[in-house]
Amino acid sequence: MTPRPFRVDRRTEEYPGAFTLHLTAIEQPAPAFSPGQFNMLYAFGAGEVAISMSGRPQQLEGTTVHTIRTRGLVTAALARLQEGEQLGVRGPFGNGWPLPEAKGRELLLIAGGLGLAPLRPVIYHLLHQPRPRAIPNFRLFYGARRPGEMLYGTELQAWSHEMPVITTVDHGDSAWSGEVGVITTPLKRADFDAHNAVAFLCGPEAMMRFSIQMLLERGMPASAIYISMERNMKCGTGLCGHCQWGPNFVCKNGPVFCFADVQNWLGIHAL
Ligand SMILES: Cc1cc2nc3c(=O)[nH]c(=O)nc-3n(C[C@H](O)[C@H](O)[C@H](O)COP(=O)(O)OP(=O)(O)OC[C@H]3O[C@@H](n4cnc5c(N)ncnc54)[C@H](O)[C@@H]3O)c2cc1C
Ligand code: FES
pLDDT digits (tens, 9 = 90+) for 125-147: 999 999 999 999 999 999 999 99
For 73-117, the pLDDT digits (tens) are 999 999 999 999 999 999 999 999 999 999 999 999 999 999 999
How far apart are alpha carbons 30 and 37 in whole angstroms? Answer: 14
- Compute, in angstroms, the gap from residue 232 CA to the centroid of ligand 2: 8
Q: Which fold does the domain 4-93 belong to in CATH? A: Elongation Factor Tu (Ef-tu); domain 3 (2.40.30)
- Compute, in angstroms, the gap from residue 64 CA to the centroid of ligand 1: 18
Closest CA to 256 of 225, 227, 224: 227
CB contact at 8 A, 118 and 37: no
For 148-197, the pLDDT digits (tens) are 999 999 999 999 999 999 999 999 998 898 899 999 999 999 999 999 99
Q: The pTM is what?
A: 0.94
Q: How is 48-114 classified by DSSP, letter by letter?
A: EEEEE--S-SS-STTEEEEEEE--SHHHHHHHTPPTT-EEEEEEEES----GGGGTTSEEEEEEEGG
Average pLDDT, the chain: 94
Q: Note the pLDDT of residue 102.
A: 96
Domain chopping of the chain, boundaries: 4-93, 99-228
243 Cβ closer than 6 Å to some ligand 2 atom = yes
232 Cβ closer than 6 Å to some ligand 1 atom = yes
SS3 of residue 157 by DSSP:
helix
- Compute, in angstroms, the gap from residue 50 CA to the centroid of ligand 1: 6
- Compute, in angstroms, the gap from residue 251 CA to the centroid of ligand 1: 12
241 Cβ closer than 6 Å to some ligand 2 atom = yes
Q: Which fold does the domain 99-228 belong to in CATH? A: Rossmann fold (3.40.50)
Residue 60 has pLDDT above 70, yes or no: no
| Mutation choice for ligand 1 from 15, 67, 230, CB with most ligand atoms inside 8 A | 230
- Report the atom number in ligand 2 closest to the C-alpha of 252: 4
Residue 106, burial from CB neighbour count under 10 angstroms (0-12, 13-18, 19+): middle
Rg (CA), the chain: 18
